[in-house]
A and B are shown apart, each in its own frame.
Chain A
Amino acid sequence: MKTRDVVRSLTFRGIVTYVTALSAIVFLLLGAVYLYFSYTSFRTLGESVMSELETLEVVYSGQSLAGVTQYIDDQLASSSIHRFYYLVTDAEGIKIAGDLPARPSYREFDDGWLGFELALQNWGQSIDVEFLAYPMLLGDGYEVMVARDYADIVDRAELVFTTLFRFLIATWILGVIGGFFSAARTLDRVERLNLEVSRIIRGGANERLQVKEEKGYIRVLAMFMNQMLEQMEALMQGVRRVSDNIAHDLRTPLTRMRNDLSQLRDRSRQEEGGQLERIIEECDELLSSFNAVLRISTLESGSRLAGGSDVELRALLRDVVELYEPLAEQRSIDLALEAPEPQVCKGDTDLLFQMFANLLDNAVKYTQSLGHIRVQMSTKLTADGSRRHCVVISDSGPGIAFLERDHVFRRFYRVESSRGEHPGHGLGLSLVQAIAQYHYGSVELANNNPGLRVKVELP
């Protein structure tokens, strides 16, 4: 089994689509949840800045600027990691207290919030850190600004998103690998089932699928298929039984009747004898159609050719042509065989002879005198590289109208124009088709311009 087959299989494609969609949805959901938490973090941060400003306002109103300066110095002295940054300026914008530089370049956000970047000295390294700040007027031109960095929030967000993304990729890859193996397994089982089924098609309905090796739904499927095969076999046996019964129950009395008639003829006078002779002939006709129908039924309902012997087609065709040569000659029809080299196929000699004899019989029957009949044999390679034998019998007769070409293979069907004009019971071509199909071959009719062209293909 090829990787390409697995990748192309529906199961694999289905699993890949599913895994992709699932990862995307999980990613989006977790992303949304995290965005919500980030938003909450920012809000908490904003609220803490506001409450710090309120504290400063209270301090200012109680102890004026000196109190504020004192408060800020106290706060800066306590070195907590997440702390506030301050800037107090006078009316001219001159820095009075705080640890922020006098004039960082601010970006203005909505609702009076400001954002800026500042390099902080951390363990001897200067790192650019993002700040969020809010300014407030204290009175007498004094202004205080409280800021807080949010690097931790951003770091956390980056970490979470990177992790999420990596998980997404890992899940996708694992899912696809799993999908590949599970598709390969399914495909393998289906392929095994296919092989089994094609074995049954070749071998006949008495074969069964191996259920023991299968598991799960394939086992159930195999069991159902076996039940189906059982029903089919029962039906086929039924058909065979019916035709055997017909053979036994109807042909036997017909034969008795015919034999009684023949005894009667031997004992009868001249003029009655002639009449009885005609009845006997009718009886024989009836019996021979009967036999032909039964033969076709058996060929069609039974299992196909199993094994068969080697048949040399050129020799067989030579014999058929030779058999019909005198008949063709009698009617001044030119009958020629074109078979450059011997070809061997597997088959039943008598049946193949019957098939080609029927076709030649028709050709001779329907070709007017001074016409010609060609029998050509060749081989061709099929798409899957196997050889097929091809026998074409073409004549210069009236041919068969396009619309009637499918019907002529039906039992008892006779082309309207030939009814009454030519003898026959309309079973010849049905038998030809049954024999060809029994040999895993096919029959096709085509126009020979003018005439009929019958192409028989045998494996």
Chain B
Amino acid sequence: MNVLLVEDDQQVGDFIATELTAVGHHCVREIDGAAGLRAAQNATFDVMVIDRMMPQMDGLALINALRDAGDNTPVIILSALGEVDDRVQGLHCGADDYLVKPFAMPELLARLDVLHRRVSAAVGESETTLVVVDLSMDLLRQHVQRQAINITLQPREYKLLEYLMRHAGQVVTRAMLLEHVWGYHFDPQTNVIDVHVSRLRQKIDKGFDHALLSTVRGKGYRLGPQLDD
């Protein structure tokens, strides 16, 4: 994945760049908004990671300029603000996702993955059946089967599974689940999400020889064939 990173903090920038390179992405770094805009105009990127508060041209202005120029590359804003109105403001100006500093690197990686896939798999939005190994979901009939055995799900469990299946093989964080499955942006004080996931796991994995839904320690969850790690 080709990533443009615009971040004025040297250390944070270094860290993100190193992490991105470590997982196999190609990363171009710029340290202010104006340079970021020039870089974006000169090359094509899959995803951009843009800091909100920067000298010269701030992140929101940069995104505005990009969108005005017809560039629709998905953008994640990084911000140390993250207060009540800021998120809305950031998303309004054309960003696709908003991540508040401090964030855990897996969170950023997971979100980048999702954004990238969303663009490249945009054609797949209209599909009517989702399949992950031997688990299938009929979106029209809202029907879930594994190895020809019907699985009955509650509405929320269905939405949860749908989201996981749409992002099969990717790590999905708790915050992402809260945002997309429940539709709220908040910090749970306890492990509420874990309970929901373990309920779902009971239904789709119990009694089958291999588990599909796994917990990735310190990161989130992944649906798909077990990896060796």
Q: Interface of A with B (CB < 8 Å)? A: 244, 247-248, 251-252, 254-256, 258-260, 262-263, 277, 280, 284, 287-288, 291-292, 294-295, 298-299, 302, 319, 322-324, 326-327, 330, 348-351, 353-354, 357-358, 361, 364-365, 423-424, 428
Contacts and interface: CB of A to CB of B under 8 A. Distances in A.
B75 to A, nearest CB: 20
A252 B80 contact: yes
B25 interface: no
Contact of A255 (B18, B102, B182, B218): B102
Nearest to B185: A350
A207 to B, nearest CB: 18
A365 B190 CA distance: 9
A423 B191 CA distance: 11
8 contacts: A247-B101, A251-B80, A255-B101, A291-B100, A348-B84, A350-B186, A358-B189, A364-B190
B186 A357 contact: yes
A52 to B, nearest CB: 105
Contact of B12 (A255, A330, A348, A354): A255
Nearest to A361: B189
B196 A299 contact: no
Contacts of A262: 104-105, 218
Contacts of B188: 357, 361
The residue among A247, A292, A326 with the most chain B CB atoms within 10 A of its own CB is A326
Contacts of A247: 80-81, 101
Contacts of A260: 15
Place the interface of chain B in its size category: 20 to 34
Nearest to B195: A326
B189 A424 contact: yes
B103 A326 contact: no
Contact of B103 (A248, A255, A354): A255
Interface of B: 9, 11-12, 15, 18-19, 53, 80-84, 100-105, 156, 182-190, 192, 195-196, 199, 217-218
Closest 9 CB pairs of A and B: A255-B102, A354-B186, A326-B195, A353-B184, A350-B185, A298-B83, A248-B80, A247-B80, A361-B189
A327 B104 contact: no
A340 B192 CA distance: 26
A289 B19 CA distance: 26
A322 B218 CA distance: 25
B158 to A, nearest CB: 13
Nearest to A249: B80
B187 A288 contact: yes
Counting chain B CB atoms within 10 Å of each CB, the highest count among A262, A288, A299, A364 belongs to A262
A291 B80 CA distance: 10
B159 to A, nearest CB: 11
A326 B197 CA distance: 10
Contact of B53 (A248, A348, A350): A248
B104 A349 contact: no
A319 B82 CA distance: 23
Contacts of A295: 83
Contact of B184 (A287, A298, A349): A349
Given A251-B101, A252-B9, A322 B156 contact: yes
A428 B83 contact: no
A330 B19 CA distance: 38
A62 B4 CA distance: 145
Nearest to A306: B85
A235 B53 CA distance: 23
A323 B192 contact: yes
Contacts of A287: 102
A150 B112 CA distance: 117
Given A252-B80, A256-B11, A288-B187, 13 more contacts: A248-B53, A251-B80, A255-B12, A255-B101, A255-B102, A255-B103, A256-B15, A258-B104, A280-B218, A291-B187, A319-B184, A330-B195, A361-B192
Contacts of A326: 192, 195-196, 199
Nearest to B79: A247
Nearest to B181: A323
Contact of B102 (A251, A298, A349): A251
Contact of A256 (B12, B183, B217): B12
Contacts of A263: 15, 18-19
Which one of B81, B183, B189 has the greatest number of beta carbons of chain A within 10 Å? B189
B12 A252 contact: yes
Contacts of B18: 263
Contacts of A248: 53, 80
A258 B105 CA distance: 9
Given A292-B187, A298-B84, A319-B182, A254 B102 contact: yes
